[in-house]
Amino acid sequence: MINEIQSDADQRMKKSVDALGNQFAKIRTGRAHPSILENVTVDYYGAPTPLSQVANINIEDARTLSIQPWEQQLVPAIEKAIMKSDLGLNPNSAGAVIRVPMPPLTEETRKGYIRQARQEAENGKVAIRNIRRDANGSVKELLKEKEITEDEERRAEDAIQKLTDKYVAEVDALLAVKEKDLMQV
């Protein structure tokens, strides 16, 4: 029973760290990356559709994305969708290809993105601590039902705390990498 609780907590904490990685990918650095446009939706025959499902998104160079829609008539809709998004990007179309240059980040925007990254990291840590609380609650239930001894409870809580510390350290490491990435000029 205790092993099941620990493995469940481990899996859930790992998912929290993975989700944080996805959130960090959405925070724009000065370099072009297709994940920046992940949340952009295009009006495709009356239905909001993710951009990646109606076009190829490629990296042209370090600061430029190129978008090739699968249908020529989508070019204006894609440009409009990118402009409407809160990404601060200005797409340029050249026939069937849309180029999206990444504007250089100012010091002020870098600090804003770092604040956003720190907030996401803190949310990740809170999620991990909530998982720890749930796991410890399950262990206490086992103790209350006399399925485990107090010594086993202590060992289980120590193991869960070690898992928590491990994943919080991973969150801190991810944040340090993202901050370094954002501060590079």
- Sorted by where each begins, the domain ranges of the chain are 2-26+106-183, 34-101
Q: Is the full-model pTM beyond 0.85?
A: no
Task: For 76-90, write each residue's pLDDT tens digit.
Answer: 888 888 888 877 778
pLDDT band per the 50, 70, 90 thresholds, residue 3: confident
- For strands 97-101 and 92-94, give the pairing: antiparallel
Nearest to 9 by CA among 130, 124, 121: 130
Task: For 7-29, write each residue's pLDDT tens digit.
Answer: 999 999 999 999 888 888 777 66
Domain 2-26+106-183 fold is Topoisomerase I; Chain A, domain 4 (1.10.132)
Residues comprising the chain, all counted: 185
Report the amino acid identity of residue 177. Answer: V
pLDDT at 179 > cutoff 70: yes
Tokens of 100: 């999206």
Domain 34-101 fold is Gyrase A; domain 2 (3.30.1360)
Nearest to 53 by CA among 22, 78, 36, 32: 78
Mean pLDDT over residues 58-81, rounded?
A: 85
